[in-house]
């Protein structure tokens, strides 16, 4: 019954920026962590960035220094700001919400990010 809806994907040139948003259907206080994953064709889905309910963040080495994750509890959203984009960032990006106690997690439908000249 939890719905996560991503938005903000699209086509961008290398070196450009893009902002992805994930809107949750209920209070994000429900979740212990919210994350962004991505999956390129033929590749395994990988964790890009994570933010916990306490505000701690974690990033994949490949995006550290270029991407930022943040959450807005009042708006029930989590945002991924992507800067200095590279062609290898091309993938479908998915929002994920985790309830640690039960081990339950929820996924959005994904949004396509294409970095190409």
**Contact residues for 38 (Cβ-Cβ < 8 A; gap 6+):** 45, 46, 48, 89, 91, 92, 93, 94, 113
pLDDT digits (tens, 9 = 90+) for 65-116: 999 999 998 999 999 999 999 999 999 999 999 998 888 999 999 999 999 9
What token pair was written down for 73?
């509890």
pLDDT band at 20 (very low <50, low <70, confident <90, very high): very high
């Amino acid at each position: 019954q939890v719905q996560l809806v991503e938005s903000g994907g699209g086509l961008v040139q290398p070196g450009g920026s893009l902002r992805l948003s994930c809107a949750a259907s209920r209070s994000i206080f429900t979740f212990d962590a919210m994350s962004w994953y991505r999956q390129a064709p033929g590749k395994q889905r990988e964790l890009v960035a994570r933010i916990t309910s306490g505000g701690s963040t974690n990033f994949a080495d490949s995006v550290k220094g270029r991407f930022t994750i943040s959450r807005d509890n009042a708006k029930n959203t989590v945002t991924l700001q992507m800067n200095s984009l590279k062609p290898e960032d091309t993938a479908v990006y998915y929002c994920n919400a985790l309830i640690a106690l039960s081990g339950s997690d929820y996924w959005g439908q994904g949004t396509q990010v294409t970095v190409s000249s």
